[in-house]
Amino acid sequence: MSDGLAFFVDPSRCIGCRACENACSECDTHRGTPMIHVDYIDRSRSIATTPTVCMHCEDPTCAEVCPADAIKQNVDGVVLSSLKPRCIACSNCVLACPFGVPKMMVRLEQMMKCDMCFDRTSVGKRPMCATVCPSQALSFVSRELIARERREVPVNTFQFGAQEVVTKVHMMAPAGTRAISADQGLSFDVSEHLWEEDPA
Amino acid sequence: MKLPASPEALAAEYGPHPAYAPPGGWEGASRQSVDKLVKTHCCFCGQQCGIQLKVADNKVVGFEPWEEFPFNRGMLCPKGVRRYLQSGHPDRLLSPLVRTEQGFRPTSWDDALATTVTRLRALQEQHGKDAVAVYGGASLTTEKAYLVGKLARVALGTRHVDYNGRLCMVSAGTAYKQVFGVDRSPLPWSDIPEAQVLFIIGANIGECAPITTDHVWRCRDRGGRIIVADPRMTPITRNADLYLPLRPGTDAVLLMSMLHVILRDGLEKRAFIEAHTTGFAEVEASVKGWDPLAAARVTGVPPASIEKAAHWFAEAERAIAMHARGLEHQSKGVENCLALINMTLACGHIGRVGAGCTMITGQGNGQGGREHGQKCDQLPGQRSISDPAARQHVAKVWGIEESALPQAGLSAMEIMEAIHRGEIKGLLSICFNPLVSLPDSAYVREALEKLEFFCVIDFFLSETAQHADVVLAGSLQEEDGGVVCSAEGRVVRIATAVTPPEGARADSAILCELGRRLGQPERFAFASPREIFTELREASRGGVADYAGITYERLEAEMGIFWPCPSEGHPGTPRLFEGGRFYHADGKAHLQAVADRPSGDPVSDEFPTFLTTGRVVSQYLSGTQTRRIGPLHDQCPEPFVELHPRLAAAHGISDGDRVTVTSRRGVLELPAKVVTTIRPDTVFIPYHWPGKRSANVLTHRTLDPRSKIPEFKVSACRIARAAGEPRRLPVVSG
């Protein structure tokens, strides 16, 4: 793992361009299929988009629910795709992940997910999505740089009902946020910004 | 002439077919062993991001970010990531083609070139030299753009040469040239994060200049305020501190009203204005009537928002006004830019770190492509073709008599109109797809059908090229290197990563061969782009865009050089106008007052809704390249009509319904995208597609009188739910 660098996601910077999806699907381990996805929160009411990348939980729910014990973390805490010899393609992990990350690759009969570009980070490069992201909604940089340059602050604790999840990947949130608990829905309507009344 | 075969037959043979896998396939040998990584720049858009191309077996098989290049530091948009899929593309033209009764037939290079030269010469002998016109493009390297101008003026001797940058940067260029004496962004992008206020008008930065987004967000991180003025909320609006939803075509009024507030409240920098500008008294008088309430009635922007925007911009010590085609694609595009410059300079925001106004250049070489002589009124070095001294200088470099150099010709749309009138009968075109990109496409098709001879140089058979008599199989950007100039004014080096595939030729070699065959062997004897660049440097020497001190070696070692760079020891000029010194002889900025006037296609009872057109992030210009790249095609496979739920409800339209959009030129049927992020009196259609999906079926031919840019951003239309179409349940489109 590249020394001292960490992964930060800031949905408020995302412009929905899908450079991350396109770059991810160039990887030779899952050609043509991205392990990251970008969604509109609600395109009918907003231009806001958000990227979803594996958060690499300290205590990964996907591994906990795996009946075949096929999902492992490496020494850096990166949660890996299922081990092919063990995976029974049951999709428990797909259903259980609180962030909606793992994908069942039917063709390969295996769950595949983001491994934070092990092939790149193991040789000192940054993960592909965070390298290309034009808005740096995805960043792979030092904590000091994030603390020094960003307006938002990193949070890595998430509250899903009673379940608290702590992750290796950080989400950028407004200062003062301790844990991210719900989608802070963003809704815009141009008509609220217009001058339409006749003042006469 | 009509198409030589049905559109379906042409599409089956020449595409666009979307490619999804690298040359040879994902499992192919070339993917396994990469021969080299080549540092170069993206072929799509004026940001000119640094990128490394993976080359194997003389094909580009992938990419690797180039993190050391200072502008983008590895960042890329989806177009940059996927650009390599053009390599080895099944639609690639691998032979010259000639028209027959049954479609196109491959032919030899000798036959194609000889036919082209004979036919063009015959037309000129019969009807005069100006019966032939030349179209260039702003995605060409600067060397090729230089050759296009020289070929037209020296080899063909026609005055009619212009380029597709006429649809892009000319309004901004005209305004900057008139006020500042130079047509270039006054500041490097590293200034953007240093501003305290960014005023962004008519610029869909997130989709059309994606890498600039990071510069904007870094400004915000440092506490900068973001003001966005646009009829649509584009992606960058999500973090705007103030959003001004102006009505299409009312930009100048909004800007004049902001200046009204600035002057009313005494926020202007009088000492700067008096020391460094002329014409301010007229500007001051012109904004007197535009108090915020009067402006609100025209623009639809609340008076309080205008006041706030004006105060933020003027009270900041450092502010930057950024603009793109929204401001410029209007029949008053130049005046809009002048109004923006007036406001910026009244506040003294120029020539300092983090302060100024800047245009966001659109096309790959949108800046460099307009500097060295393929514009109808300019010679190399951004020299005016009507300036006797400039003519003498360039004629000397070219080894011709000044009197042999033609005068200014018609602009791009005017050339098409002269073709339609029958005055221009022959056309040589490279890097331009006017059937998709010019307004009023039915009219453009009629004009193309009237041409007596039409030769196209291209690597894919574009919709326009389907009308050609001869097609010369040209080269991709990575097959014929040179230099380009980015939106910042930074000249960068395009590497020749691979050679053209067998059967195709480098564009620069084709242009030179045409020049030689047109009787100018010694003036087109260039053996390489480097030799062209050496002459170009001389032609630019002493001009406004002075490249004399730039060499390929310096560009590679210094990661680009900002012009002007008059000598090899000169470091280049990232920021213009430091110390308030402008490029006119008196050193001053020549401000010009403007007045509001209506659009060329006004809304009426019959056509009550504004139509505005623009781009999506996954497509580039007329889509000739990006509609052939599978993942980019899939990201936005079809155009759509974007409209507000209030307008949709008035017409019984739901999201996903088929909608007819009718203008004074034509009618289009497209799916509805119902969103609250657009003004309720305006619809938006992206323009990258041809034929029955072409937004330009609807747009009009009114040009700005000075820049000759068409008014893509303001048309009048009416909408209706398409008859007989069953209503579907609303779906959220992405």
- Domain contains B481: yes
Q: What is the CATH number of the domain that holds B689?
A: 2.40.40.20
Backbone phi and psi for residue B610, each to the nearest 5 degrees, phi listed first: -75, 140
- Judged by CB atoms closer than 8 Å, whether chains meet at A193 and B677 is answered as no
B454 CA: distance to closest CA in chain A (Å): 38
Neighbouring CB atoms inside 10 A of B126's CB total 10
A188 contacts in B (CB within 8 Å)?
233, 237-238, 676-677
- Domain contains B569: no
By Cβ distance, the residue of B217, B223, B238 closest to A48 is B238
Q: Which of B647, B627, B646, B628 is closest to B638 using CA atoms?
A: B627
Query: Which chain A residue has its CA at the smallest distance from B207's CA?
Result: A17
- In this structure, are B250 and B335 located in the same domain? yes
Chain A, residues 131-160, CB within 8 A of chain B, namely 131-136, 149-151
- In this structure, are B233 and B343 located in the same domain? yes
**Where would I find the beta strands (DSSP E) of B193-300?**
197-201, 225-229, 242-244, 277-278
Q: What is the CATH number of the domain that holds B22?
A: 3.30.200.210
Question: What confidence tier does B710 reach under pLDDT thresholds 50, 70, 90?
Answer: very high
Token pair listed for B260: 């009204």
Helices (H), A140-195: 143-149
Percent residues over pLDDT 90 in chain B: 96
Domains of chain A: total: 1
- Domain contains B581: no
Rounded Cα–Cα distance for residues B688 and B624 (Å): 9
- Judged by CB atoms closer than 8 Å, whether chains meet at A199 and B245 is answered as no
Token pair listed for B114: 């000889």
- Judged by CB atoms closer than 8 Å, whether chains meet at B206 and A17 is answered as yes
What's the pLDDT at B32? 78
Backbone phi and psi for residue B165, each to the nearest 5 degrees, phi listed first: -65, -15
- Judged by CB atoms closer than 8 Å, whether chains meet at B26 and A31 is answered as yes
Over residues B342-392, the pLDDT tens digits come to 999 999 999 999 999 999 999 999 999 999 999 999 999 999 999 999 999
Token pair listed for A4: 């001292």
- In this structure, are B394 and B466 located in the same domain? yes
- Judged by CB atoms closer than 8 Å, whether chains meet at B210 and A132 is answered as no
Question: What confidence tier does A200 reach under pLDDT thresholds 50, 70, 90?
Answer: very low
Q: What is the CATH number of the domain that holds A160?
A: 3.30.70.20
Rounded Cα–Cα distance for residues A51 and B542 (Å): 50
What number of H helices and E strands is found in chain A? Answer: 6, 8
Over residues B259-300, the pLDDT tens digits come to 999 999 999 999 999 999 999 999 999 999 999 999 999 999
Q: What DSSP element (H or E) covers B99?
A: strand B97-100
**Domain end point (choices B533, B563, B593):** B563
∠ CA B635-B242-B320, nearest 5°, is 85
By Cβ distance, the residue of B67, B223, B631 closest to A22 is B631
What's the pLDDT at B727? 52
Backbone phi and psi for residue B186, each to the nearest 5 degrees, phi listed first: -70, -10
- In this structure, are B407 and B547 located in the same domain? yes
Range(s) of the domain holding residue A81 = 5-180
- In this structure, are B352 and B499 located in the same domain? no
- Domain contains A20: yes
- Domain contains B156: yes
Which of B221, B250, B634, B653 is the mutation pick for testing A, counting most A CBs within 10 A? B221
Token pair listed for B481: 């290197």
- Domain contains A193: no
Helical pair B292-299 and B303-315, crossing angle rounded to 10 deg: 120
pLDDT at B729 over 70: no
- In this structure, are B439 and B304 located in the same domain? no
Neighbouring CB atoms inside 10 A of B553's CB total 10
Token pair listed for B669: 């049927």
- Domain contains A86: yes
CB B618 within 8 A of CB B632: yes
Q: Which of B233, B201, B241, B249 is closest to B217 using CA atoms?
A: B241
DSSP bridge partners of B668 = B661
CB B641 within 8 A of CB B609: no
Check residues A181 and B397 and name the one with the higher pLDDT.
B397
- In this structure, are B72 and B117 located in the same domain? no
By Cβ distance, the residue of B74, B223, B293 closest to A131 is B74
By Cβ distance, the residue of A13, A32, A126 closest to B26 is A32
Token pair listed for B569: 């020891």
pLDDT at B236 over 90: yes
What's the pLDDT at A182? 54
- In this structure, are B250 and B337 located in the same domain? yes
What's the pLDDT at B125? 98
For residue B176, give the 3-state DSSP assignment.
helix
- Domain contains A67: yes
Query: Which chain B residue has its CA at the smallest distance from A21's CA?
Result: B78
∠ CA A117-A123-A124, nearest 5°, is 90
A39 contacts in B (CB within 8 Å)?
734
Q: What is the CATH number of the domain that holds B414?
A: 3.40.50.740
- Domain contains A172: yes
DSSP characters over B353-372: TTBEEEE---STTTTGGGTS
Q: Which long-range contacts (CB under 8 A, 24 or more apart) does B509-514 make?
A: B509/B480, B510/B457, B510/B472, B510/B474, B511/B144, B511/B147, B511/B148, B511/B151, B511/B430, B511/B457, B512/B147, B513/B113, B514/B113, B514/B116, B514/B117, B514/B151, B514/B155, B514/B428
What number of H helices and E strands is found in chain B? Answer: 24, 28
A197 touches B at CB < 8 Å: no
- In this structure, are B332 and B375 located in the same domain? no
For residue B632, give the 3-state DSSP assignment.
helix
Rounded Cα–Cα distance for residues B201 and A193 (Å): 16
By Cβ distance, the residue of B26, B293, B676 closest to A190 is B676
What's the pLDDT at B155? 98
- Domain contains A185: no
- Domain contains B237: yes
Say which residues have a Cβ less than 8 Å from residue A55's Cβ, sequence separation at least 6. Answer: A99, A101, A158, A165, A167, A168, A169, A171
Rounded Cα–Cα distance for residues A60 and A73 (Å): 9
By Cβ distance, the residue of A17, A21, A49 closest to B210 is A17
> What's CA A122's distance to the chain center, in Å?
20
A49 contacts in B (CB within 8 Å)?
235
Token pair listed for A21: 């999806």
pLDDT at B730 over 60: no
DSSP characters over B331-348: TTHHHHHHHHHHHHHHTT
Question: What confidence tier does A199 reach under pLDDT thresholds 50, 70, 90?
Answer: very low
Neighbouring CB atoms inside 10 A of B80's CB total 28
Range(s) of the domain holding residue B257 = 170-359
Domains of chain B: total: 4
Say which residues have a Cβ less than 8 Å from residue B560's Cβ, sequence separation at least 6. Answer: B71, B486, B490, B491, B492, B493
Chain A, residues 10-49, CB within 8 A of chain B, namely 12-13, 15-19, 21-23, 25-26, 28, 31-32, 39-40, 42-49
> Averaged over B145-160, what is the pLDDT?
98
For residue B709, give the 3-state DSSP assignment.
coil
What's the pLDDT at A172? 95
B77 contacts in A (CB within 8 Å)?
17, 19, 134
**Domain end point (choices B314, B335, B359):** B359
pLDDT at B517 over 60: yes
Token pair listed for B71: 């502008």
Burial class (CB in 10 A: 0-12, 13-18, 19+), B197: buried
- In this structure, are B557 and B462 located in the same domain? yes
What's the pLDDT at B734? 39
- In this structure, are B252 and B265 located in the same domain? yes
- Domain contains A190: no
DSSP characters over B374-419: -STTEETTTEETT-HHHHHHHHHHHTS-GGGS------HHHHHHHH
Compute the 3-state secondary structure of chain B and give helix, strand, coil in percent, each to the nearest 5: 35, 20, 45
Over residues B621-642, the pLDDT tens digits come to 999 999 999 999 999 999 999 9
What's the pLDDT at B2? 82
Q: Which of B148, B94, B138, B40 is closest to B501 using CA atoms?
A: B94
Backbone phi and psi for residue B147, each to the nearest 5 degrees, phi listed first: -65, -40
- Domain contains A151: yes
What's the pLDDT at A3? 67
Over residues A90-120, the pLDDT tens digits come to 999 999 999 989 988 888 888 989 999 988 9
The secondary structure of residue B151, as a DSSP letter, is I
The overall average pLDDT reported for chain B is: 96
Q: Could you tell me how many residues make up chain A?
A: 200
> Averaged over B30-37, what is the pLDDT?
85
Q: Which of B389, B469, B461 is closest to B690 using CA atoms?
A: B461
CB A41 within 8 A of CB A50: yes
Say which residues have a Cβ less than 8 Å from residue A184's Cβ, sequence separation at least 6. Answer: none
A132 CA: distance to closest CA in chain B (Å): 4
Helices (H), B457-607: 507-517, 529-540, 552-558
Query: Which chain A residue has its CA at the smallest distance from B643's CA?
Result: A44
Q: Which of B548, B586, B466 is closest to B3 using CA atoms?
A: B466
- Domain contains B578: no
Q: What is the CATH number of the domain that holds B256?
A: 3.40.228.10
The overall average pLDDT reported for chain A is: 90
- In this structure, are B334 and B397 located in the same domain? no
Q: Could you tell me how many residues make up chain B?
A: 734
